[in-house]
A and B are shown apart, each in its own frame.
Chain A
């Protein structure tokens, strides 16, 4: 299977300081392979080097050393650009254009014939839920609406590869659901999706593989489920119709109990206590289950544990 993205020892230093410039390493010898047709999550906390990597792939910045190949070609190659779509982080577009005009402009740059252009622009605006705002100037758009326009412009050329920088950023829950659905649709039609995120749940729901970056270095890569650090470490129950005395009865089995007000309590169970048994007893005592969630290692904890001690 040919690779959609490959980076070999990719490194980027930025010069910082006003008078005496000194290099600050943003990306440190990153070697990564993304296969054609997969949904690949590029994870890491803020400032990890995710955006720098994506900019290197799009040749918005040039590497200090190492190399990258995108759809088998070097970054910046016009042939490769014709086959890919890119959503920058917090995208900004010309605010004097309407959504329709912006997409028509980009479609023109992509070389789409006029008839296809109109059809594609119209279909995409409907697809991202901006069909009614097509004649509205972008200066009147909210952050979430701009994000949707950004996604639409990345899909104009029916790309073989899409690179999305924080695609869920600025979106409400409905918007996030739409984007997730869109990414899965892209995958189903054979498109490779490479997206960055600092939200673990996005990656869990969508990715076949992930890479985790911290302080410019690759910390781990592979299937998220295979990464032991992300295993379940306990359970969180929210229970209603509880009293302090009832909570006190179960307290020895809980790792934490916190009142939420109105007779609701948040209870935490350690991993060795199965929640089924406790739930049966609680229900018999009159408690009502509101929610039950597995407690996982958060991405942030993962970074603290695995990369926090590094210089």
Chain B
């Protein structure tokens, strides 16, 4: 466990000292603040718009981080040959894969927390100028704690994406890994459509293929509860728990596969 901790902390330190990440977070915070301006343009819907845009910004910038840092987690170590002296230490290759993954999860948690704090600040500021009429018309509280539920599930979704990026990077090039991860991300939002493919297509082969893909790809849409939260619809704790457990299971499978592939690789 100590070994994993050391590797994770070093991975976190790598991200924290990377200037690119700061510009990403700064840009995301800027976008959240800008959502206030967009909100102002819509009559009476400013809080909803700010929440919607704010949560989307957190998701998109989190996705950038998950993919672009995720694909480099292990491949950068191999490419730059820093892995040679690292693997000479008493660690297993699987420790390296899991430790690096945990380091990026820690990075994501910190960054998402910063962006969420920015969103709450913008909302609090909106509250100071809100009219009584608008306050009564709102479907959800201004500083709605349910926003944290949406952010929490988004974080699990980003963890799935990171594990996917890491998995691809254990056997392919960084660029191909980024493309494949992005494809999985997009397809992951349409996996419910794959389940219903047999209603629109007659070919049994295509049906079987669609069903296979449905079971293989992560159902990323299930982690997205932004619309419900924005409109004040309830998200049950049961839904939170089941979805999180689904995400964690998916992550575990990906990490085991990544560690297995990585443990057999030659570092020429």
Contact = CB atoms under 8 A, between A and B. Distances in A.
Interface in A89-135: 90-94, 96-97, 101, 105-106, 108-111
Interface stretch (A34-42, A57-65, A271-279): A57-65
A90 B80 CA distance: 11
A150 B85 contact: yes
Which DSSP category, helix, strand, loop or mixed, fits chain A's interface?
A: mixed
B6 A58 contact: no
A86 interface: yes
B87 A59 contact: yes
B135 interface: no
A240 interface: no
B90 A78 contact: yes
Interface in B1-37: 2-3, 6-7, 10, 13-14, 17-18
Given A61-B267, A61-B268, A62-B264, A86 B84 contact: yes
B89 A109 contact: yes
A243 B168 CA distance: 72
Contacts, number: 78
A97 B87 contact: no
Contacts of B83: 60
Contact of A88 (B14, B85, B91, B264): B85
B86 to A, nearest CB: 8
B88 A84 contact: yes
Interface residues of B, number: 26
Nearest to B77: A94
B13 A97 contact: yes
B231 interface: no
Contacts of A85: 88
A55 interface: yes
Contacts of B268: 14, 61
A129 B268 CA distance: 31
B10 A88 contact: no
B82 to A, nearest CB: 5
A108 B81 contact: no
A78 B90 CA distance: 5
Interface of A: 14, 55, 58-62, 78-79, 81-82, 84-88, 90-94, 96-97, 101, 105-106, 108-111, 150, 153-154
Question: Top 3 A-B pairs ranked by shortest CB distance?
Answer: A86-B88, A88-B84, A61-B266
